[in-house]
Amino acid sequence: MTVSRYRVLLCDLRTDRVLAALPLHDVSLDDYIGKAGSLQGTVPVPNRQIADRIRPHLIPGRTAVWVERDRSVWWGGVLWTAEPTIDDRGFVTVPIQAGTFDTYLEHRILWTTQKATQVDQFGIVRDLIDYVQSLPGGDIGIEYDTAPSGVARSRTFSRHDQPRIRELLDELAKAEGGFEWRIACLRDPETGRRTKQLQLGHPIIDRSEAPVVLNHPGHILAASFPIDATVQANVWQARGATTNSNQAAESKPLTSELLVDEDALADGWPRLDGTADYSSTNKQAELDEYARADFDAARHPRVIPAVTVRLGEHITPDLLGRTVRIRIRNAWFPDGYDERRRVVGIAVTPPERGKAETAKLTLETPTHGNSPL
């Protein structure tokens, strides 16, 4: 059996110039739609020669980390922590942690008020990315296309709120009629260079390829169907910015309408209250958009299927946004489980010390909210 070859590269974050190839043990890496991905690993430092080679380049906040598998780009992000460690036998290791390139936007703040009046929401996103990369030292090479979403919005982002760019993008994406976004790491098929591509999808990032069929027994090694009602709510209200300009009076935040799922209460559900804060939102219509979108997502228990599979020709990080068909037949599903689900997360465990090369796929929550149990 051919063993896949992984390579970890350290590069300059701004120029992507290769600085060093990195030996890395106990590696785990993941990527998602809707939240940041991460990489963890340990750099062994058996001698001074290796220490001298990698020490100048393990600079958190300045260095990019790329993972290649058989020359294909599988992961990319920013090195955020490194911890040189000496154990009781004098051996040196450096545990590191990195986050996908979207985590860079958590470290960028809006210093200039930005206004958009009836602009396509994808245009607003791209304008914010342009702002990030237009300032000195801020260009890390994020690229994008110009396709519209078809949804126009008006927004004012005030510099006085000092919002982080990641927060603005996430809030905009969560609005009613919103979208999904991520920064995909790819290799340009023509030039061979590594690229950071902003992917936008309305209402979701949806790949149109035919579903990949995964069977148990077969490709699937393990599966789980956790059901989470801790974030469920059938009554919802969102809070916005404080609008009271009279300092002598009690400060009160803007609030959305109170949303109640009367059908759920009539069906016997106990009342479950929920709320969310949008402290930079000072317009009623915008706050109501956020509230309706959050309420719609919170009304059902969250079922988050996940399957662990053997890596193969069709199981790569490129599955993000694609649909898989899960077929299971066992004691729990004696009549068979046969569902199509979109992949919204993938966590890869490379082969090491006799461990198999596997991937855990996080699948989209069914929109109907029904339990598979």
Residue 128: closest CA among 163, 103, 98 = 163
Q: Are residues 286 and 342 in the same domain?
A: no
Among 266, 298, 330, identify where a domain stops.
298
Between 354 and 370, the more confident residue is: 354
Per-residue pLDDT, averaged over 199-210, amounts to 91
Q: Are residues 32 and 49 in the same domain?
A: yes
Whether 368 shows a pLDDT value over 50: the answer reads no
Give the confidence band of 301 by pLDDT, cuts at 50, 70, 90. Answer: confident
Relative orientation angle of helices 121-134 and 165-174, to the nearest 10 degrees: 180
Amino acid at 65: V
Tens digit of each residue's pLDDT (9 = 90 or more) over 313-366: 778 898 999 999 999 998 989 999 999 999 999 999 888 777 788 999 999 976
Q: What pLDDT is recorded for position 360?
A: 96
> CATH number for the domain including 156?
3.55.50
Q: What pLDDT is recorded for position 289?
A: 92
- Is the residue at 131 inside a domain? yes
Q: Are residues 256 and 283 in the same domain?
A: yes
How do 72-82 and 6-12 pair as beta strands? Answer: unpaired
Give the confidence band of 369 by pLDDT, cuts at 50, 70, 90. Answer: very low
pLDDT > 70 in the chain, percent: 95
Whether 371 shows a pLDDT value over 60: the answer reads no
- Is the residue at 257 inside a domain? yes
Integer-rounded Cα Rg, in Å, for the chain is: 23
Residue 84: closest CA among 35, 133, 51 = 51
Q: What pLDDT is recorded for position 319?
A: 92
Per-residue pLDDT, averaged over 247-258, amounts to 81
Kindly report which listed range (110-114, 292-296, 367-371) carries the lowest average pLDDT score: 367-371
Residue 225: both structure tokens together: 């169907």
Q: What pLDDT is recorded for position 274?
A: 97
Residue 282: strand, helix, or coil: coil
How big is the CA angle at 33 (ends 138 and 43), to the nearest 5 degrees?
65
Q: Are residues 63 and 21 in the same domain?
A: yes
Q: Are residues 150 and 26 in the same domain?
A: no
DSSP secondary structure letter of residue 312: B
Per-residue pLDDT, averaged over 279-286, amounts to 90
Tell me the C-alpha to C-alpha distance, in Å, between residue 64 and each of 39, 67, 72, 175, 296.
Answer: 12, 10, 17, 32, 38
CA distance 282 to 109: 19
Among 298, 331, 352, identify where a domain stops.
298
Q: What pLDDT is recorded for position 58?
A: 96
Per-residue pLDDT, averaged over 102-118, amounts to 97
Give the confidence band of 80 by pLDDT, cuts at 50, 70, 90. Answer: very high
DSSP secondary structure letter of residue 54: H
Longest dimension (CA), the chain: 76
Q: What pLDDT is recorded for position 278?
A: 92
Q: Are residues 60 and 188 in the same domain?
A: no
Mean pLDDT of the chain: 92
Tens digit of each residue's pLDDT (9 = 90 or more) over 349-360: 888 777 788 999
- Is the residue at 308 inside a domain? yes
- Is the residue at 13 inside a domain? yes
Helix, strand, coil abundance in the chain, percent, nearest 5: 20, 40, 40
Q: Are residues 221 and 355 in the same domain?
A: yes
Whether 3 shows a pLDDT value over 90: the answer reads no
Per-residue pLDDT, averaged over 185-196, amounts to 95
Count Cα neighbours of 178 within 13 Å in the Cβ-side half-sphere.
22
- Is the residue at 370 inside a domain? no
Tens digit of each residue's pLDDT (9 = 90 or more) over 44-78: 999 999 999 999 999 999 999 999 998 899 999 99
- Is the residue at 372 inside a domain? no
- Is the residue at 371 inside a domain? no
Q: Are residues 75 and 29 in the same domain?
A: yes
Residue-range definition of the domain harbouring residue 261: 235-298
Between 126 and 210, the more confident residue is: 126
Q: Are residues 351 and 220 in the same domain?
A: yes
- Please give the tally of structural domains in the chain: 4
Q: What pLDDT is recorded for position 2?
A: 57
Among 104, 136, 171, identify where a domain stops.
104
Per-residue pLDDT, averaged over 264-279, amounts to 96
Per-residue pLDDT, averaged over 143-167, amounts to 96
- Is the residue at 154 inside a domain? yes
CA distance 128 to 122: 10
Give the confidence band of 370 by pLDDT, cuts at 50, 70, 90. Answer: very low
Alpha helices by DSSP H, listed for the chain, are 48-54, 121-134, 165-174, 262-266, 284-298
Q: Are residues 187 and 121 in the same domain?
A: yes
Give the confidence band of 248 by pLDDT, cuts at 50, 70, 90. Answer: low
Kindly report which listed range (87-96, 183-192, 259-268, 303-312) carries the lowest average pLDDT score: 303-312
